[in-house]
């Protein structure tokens, strides 16, 4: 759980760092973005911090009688873009796989999981899905260039959407004190609640699939 939330927290931090450190593709940024980045001037703060650390390391090495190593050159923008993209890609993949694993594991064990456990898993998977979606704009260039990766990611997203709709339908009718499987064994479930889920979210699924196919 700690690793899951740690990865989720690192994702917006990495995106924000890539934005302010000019480590995202140039065409992502507008004039407003450039104005904000120049105002914050993260590069200057980084340079000051790295210079301070380097000087401290030099003093320590001199005190120990060791050779002072030359300072490394700052990475070019292309190199920074590659590093940030790969790091965000790893976080994005982790969120997508984790979300699918949570949903699949919950469905497989819904006979023994209580309604509270079911809804908790639903919330975690929803959070994982939102975190994954936040990375897609940053990964646009990478996904355009890597067709196979894009194809598998699309199938994963569609699978997660289908499972989330299923979870939403079950959770809206579920008593937290009984196992989730009981909902399928009770005859007096509100038809209106199920129909509202179908009316609201099945069109979302259809439109999403059409959009993905049309833009593939």
In which element (H, E) is residue 150 found?
helix 147-171
pLDDT, residue 4, reads 76
Across 80-99, average pLDDT = 90
**The most confident of 103-107, 179-183, 207-211, by mean pLDDT:** 103-107
Residue 188 has pLDDT above 80, yes or no: no
Q: How confident is the model at residue 29 (pLDDT cuts 50, 70, 90)?
A: confident
Q: Which residues of 111-150 are buried (b: 16+ CB within 10 A; e: fewer)?
A: eebbbebbbebbebbbbbbebbebbeebbeebbeeeeeee
pLDDT, residue 163, reads 87
pLDDT tens digit sequence for 120-141: 888 888 888 888 888 888 888 8
Q: What is the mean pLDDT of the chain?
A: 79
What's the CA gap between 9 and 4, in Å, rounded?
A: 9
Domain boundaries, the chain: 86-214
């Amino acid at each position: 759980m700690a690793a899951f939330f740690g990865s989720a927290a690192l994702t917006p931090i990495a995106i924000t760092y890539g934005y302010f450190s000019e480590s995202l593709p140039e065409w992502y940024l507008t004039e407003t973005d450039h104005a904000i980045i120049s105002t914050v001037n993260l590069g200057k703060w980084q340079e000051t911090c790295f210079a301070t650390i380097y000087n401290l390391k030099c003093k320590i090495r001199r005190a120990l009688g060791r050779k002072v190593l030359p300072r490394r050159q700052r990475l070019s923008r292309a190199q920074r873009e590659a590093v940030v993209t790969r790091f965000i890609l790893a976080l994005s993949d982790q969120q997508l796989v984790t979300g699918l694993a949570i949903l699949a594991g919950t469905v497989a064990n819904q006979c023994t999981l209580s309604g509270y456990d079911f809804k908790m898993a639903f919330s975690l998977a929803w959070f994982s899905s939102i975190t994954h979606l936040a990375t897609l704009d940053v990964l646009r260039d990478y996904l355009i260039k890597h067709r196979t990766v894009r194809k598998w990611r699309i199938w994963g997203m569609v699978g997660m959407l289908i499972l989330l709709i299923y979870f939403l339908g079950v959770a809206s009718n579920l008593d937290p004190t009984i196992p989730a499987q009981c909902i399928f064994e009770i005859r007096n479930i509100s038809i209106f609640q199920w129909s509202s889920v179908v009316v609201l979210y099945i069109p979302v699924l259809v439109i999403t699939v059409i959009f993905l196919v049309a833009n593939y």
